[in-house]
Structure formats: structure tokens, C-alpha cells
Structure 1
Amino acid sequence: MSRWWLIAFALVMYLVFVVATLPAQFGLWLMPAPNNLHVGKVSGSIWQGQIGVVHWQGKIIKDVHWDINVGQLLLGRIEADIVAGQDMTSDIAITGTAGMSFSGWYADDIELAMPASVAAELSPLPLQVELEGMIDAQITVASQGSPWCSELEGVVTWRNPKVIAAALGNPFKLDNTRAQLSCVNGEVVAKVDDDKQVMGLEVSATLAATSYSVSGTINPGPQFPPGFEQGLMFVATPISNNSYQIELDGSL
């Protein structure tokens, strides 16, 4: 009997060795990439590897590194620590932990950075203006749900923001703006405010399965450009001497 146990143990150890040393490219053969995702040169193993460059929806993410957390496999999860896009020529930079379980995808301690122009192009919302500045996101926890999430906690900051539109003439400089993210009944909710020097935002935005809505107030601050009050009339309704109500909604 002991002989069979030794043979079985040797076989298991051999299989573990084979899997542990499989090249990362083998894993990509098993999981074909979506049409909007193109993967460059792959090196390393399935457990710890690197992709030279990833093209996703026309955006470039360079030097994608991953390190599989083997212990999570015992809990029925595939989880990896990820570092990507630290090269200055990447459109998106990201670090954190992401994984899949029987309940769907999840992510922890994600830090994300990209130009506002890139974020605008990736946004599911129909934007009619150009954006400048940098978008930084710190996502403490996020997990899959219906229609979007089951759990979400984080903050997104728009730094040195500008809005460019023909109707505005010169680029419109805004305050640094923050959005506190949460998940309510599967929908993404963002509580938005700023530094109260230009727009004075107090807004709540909701992303539902097939629609979005925005509700709140605009209270122009001391650095709000003179003469732009008339422009607010196109998106908001005056409710006092220096306050405007904003109510927007639409389909995705």
C-alpha cells in the first residue's frame, strides 16, 4: 500500500510541477481574448508573468505584470496581484488585486490613473465635450452584481480639470472634483463635490442597467467666470440668487 501512496504522491508532485512551469502563453491559448483586446508578447509562467503591451478599446497599457495568489485557489478563487501601465507612454496605469470566484469578478485595493480624455472615451455616458486633466481612482473594494455591482467602495478624483467645447470658447477650468462611489441595489452611485471655488457641485449620479441620472445643485463660487451664468441655464434651473438645480437623465 505504501508503494501506491508513493507513486500517487510522485504523480501529484509531477503534475504540480508541470502546471507551475507552464508558460503564460499557454494560459492565453486556453482563454482567447475578446475582439477589442489585443495582447502583445507574453513571458513568464501562468502563476507569475508579464505582457509587454495590451491594446484595449484602442488604448495602450504597457508592462502588465501579474502574480497569482495560489492560496486563493483552495477557496475556489482565481486571484492575482496586478501592476500595469507604469510606463509614461501608457494610456492607463493600474495596481491592485483582481480575481474571479463562483459569484463573479471582484477587485480590492485598486489604484487607477489615466488622462481625463481617455476616461471620456471609455465612458458609457454620451459626452458632448472634451475633457482635460487627470483621473485618479482608489477603489477599496468592488464586486460583480446585477446590473453592475454587489459591492463598491472608492473615490475618483479629477485633478486640474478643464472642459473644452465650442460654445465655451476658451477651456473652462474647474475645481478639483471628487466622486465617492458606492453600490445601491446593484447600481453604481457617485456622490460628487468639488473645492467650491468655481462650480460648487453637490451632485448625485446613478448608473443603472440601461440608463443614467444626475441630480443636485450648482452653487457658483468666487472663481466662476463672469458672464457664464447664462450657460448654466442650459443644464440647470435657478432656485435662488446663486444656486441652480440640475436634473439630467438618459439612456445608455
Structure 2
Amino acid sequence: MKKSMLWLLGLLAYLLFMLVLTPASLWLKLVTLPADLQLGPVTGTLWQGQVAGVQKAPFYLPQLSWQLQPSLLWRGKLGLKLQGGNLRDASLPYLAVQAELGFGKVLLQQSTIRLPVAPIIPQLQLPMPVDASGSIVLNLQKFELGQPYCSELVGTASWQQAKFKAPTGWIDLQAIDSTLSCDNGNLSLTTKADNPLGLLVKADVLQGSYQIAGTLKPAASMPKEVHQAMQFVGQADAEGRFPLKLQGRIGQ
């Protein structure tokens, strides 16, 4: 009986060994990928590997590497570490993600994701054409996948090196910081008003759509073009704040 058990354990160990060391390119052939997702050459194994280039409009990631971490298997979970892009090149996306994968659960902790602003702007339905630059940096202390997007979210978001283009040139907004949360399964962002635009809004990403509501109160130091543009936003209240309300579909 003991010999049979040892043989069984040995067989299972061998199968597991072969499973994780099978080339990742072979596993990829068994997966149905979105039609608009393009991958470069895949190297390594299921255990640890790399993709040389990931393209999904409007973003391109020069490289994406992964590493499985079995230390959580005793809890019925599998750790996954993802690293992609170049931290020093702000014109491209970057990510450093620490994930826990369980039965029907995905949890991210202490993760950073950076996206350039320029490709995002055309995806939004704005009342007037906007040309902007900089990067959106997400620092996620905890994010648990849910319906439609999340079941828990604790983190911050920052528009770093924030600039937008006016007729007279680029206007520097420095940085616009905000907090992230999960609101009934939807992604929610609330800005801090300590920015040159006095932007104080709550933005919600719903299933396939978004809505933004809040106020603007540009600082006196802002160029006159900014203050003149406020006439297209609406009527200021008694405190000089202009109402801001936008909504639309994502990617349409």
C-alpha cells in the first residue's frame, strides 16, 4: 500500500513537473485570444516566461514577463507576478502587478499601473476636442475583481506631468491626484481639489460607460484662455465654481 502511494505521488510530481515546464508557446495555442490582441514571440514556460510585445489598441507594451509563485498553494491560491514596459519611458504603458489567483477570484495587491494619457483621450466623448499629455499612474493597495469590475478597491490615481494644449501653447497642470474606490461593483475616482484647475469631481466607470460630475475653479495664475473657456462649461456658483458634468460610452 505504501509503495503504491509512493508511485502515485511520484507520478503526480512528474506530471506537475512536465506541466509547468512545457513551453508557454504550446499552452498559448490552446487559448482563444481577443481578435484585437496581438502578441510578439513567446518564450519560457508556464512557470516563468516573457512575451516580446503586446498590442491592444490603443496601447502597446514592449514586453511582458510573468512568474508563478506557488507559496500560496496551501491556501488554494496561486501567486502571479507580472512585469511589463519600462519604468523610465513615460510615453509607454508600464505595470508591476502582484496577483493572487483563486477559484473564481482575482486579487491584486501593492501593484502599479501606468498609462499614457494621449491614447486615452480619443476613447472619451468630450464636449470639445482636447489634446493632453502626461501619464495616469494607478497605485493599487488592494483590488479584487468583481461584477461588473470590482468587489473591493483601495488605491490612488494620479495624472502626472499633466498638460493640455491651448491655442497659445501647452498649459502645465502639474499633477492631479485622486483616490480610488469600488462603488456597487463600479470603479470610482474622486479627485483632490489641490490642483491649478481646482478640479473636484467624482468619476464612475460603469459597465461600458462613464460619468463625471463635479466642479472647476481655475486658479488666478491660470492663463486667460483657461478662464475664458469656462464660459462654455456653465454658470459659476456663488463661490466661483463652475459645474462639470460629462457622460458617455467607453470606446465609442
- TM-score surpassing 0.5? yes
Shorter-chain TM band? 0.7 to 0.9
Assess, with a 3 A threshold, how the Cα gap between structure 1 residues 5 and 100 changes in structure 2: closer, same or farther. closer
Report 1:74-89 matches (<5 A). Answer: 74-86=74-86, 88=89
CA contact (8 A) 1:60 1:90 kept: no
- Paired residues in the alignment total 247
Q: Is the 8 A contact 2:203 2:210 kept in 1?
A: yes
Deviation at 1:73, TM superposition (A): 4.1
Once the two structures are superposed, the pairs formed by residues 1-150 of structure 1 within 5 Å of their partners are 1-86=1-86, 88=89, 91-121=92-122, 123=123, 125-127=124-126, 128-150=129-151
Give, in angstroms, the shift of residue 157 of structure 1: 1.0
Distance 1:107 1:126 in 2: 30
Q: Distance in 1 between matches of 2:9 and 2:160?
A: 57
| Residue type of the alignment partner of 2:191 | V
Tell me which of 230, 233, 247 is aligned to 1:232: 230
Cα separation, 2, equivalents of 1:236 and 1:214: 15
Structure 2 gap segments, 5+ residues each: none
Amino acid paired to 1:101: G
**Identity value in percent:** 26
Contact 1:236/1:247 (<8 A) preserved: no
**Which amino acid in structure 1 is aligned with residue 185 of structure 2?**
G
| In structure 1, C-alpha distance between the alignment counterparts of 2:73 and 2:56, rounded to whole Å | 27
| Kept in 2: contact 1:133–1:161 (CA 8 A) | yes
Partner Cα distance (1:227, 1:91) in 2: 30
Rate the CA distance shift 1:156–1:72 in 2: closer, same or farther, 3 A: same
Q: Distance in 1 between matches of 2:233 and 2:64?
A: 41
In the alignment, what sits opposite 2:243? Answer: 245
CA distance in 2, matches of 1:46, 1:176: 39
- CA gap of 1:17–1:103, structure 2 versus 1, over 3 A, is closer
The normalised TM-score by structure 1 is 0.86
Q: Which runs of 5+ in 1 are unaligned?
A: none
Conservation of the 8 A alpha-carbon contact between 1:51 and 1:64? yes
Secondary structure of 1:236's aligned partner: coil
Give the whole-Å Cα distance in 2 for the aligned partners of 1:171 and 1:90: 17
Aligned match of 2:212: 214
Label 1:10 to 1:214 Cα distance change in 2 as closer, same or farther (>3 A): closer
In the other structure, the counterpart of 1:162 is 163
Shift of the alpha carbon at 1:239?
A: 0.4
Structure-2 change in CA distance of 1:74 and 1:29 (3 Å): farther
Q: Encode CA deviations 1:178-224: one digit per residue, 9 max, x unaligned.
A: 1211001112111112534x211221122222443222222221322
AA matched with 1:159: Q
CA contact (8 A) 2:91 2:116 kept: no
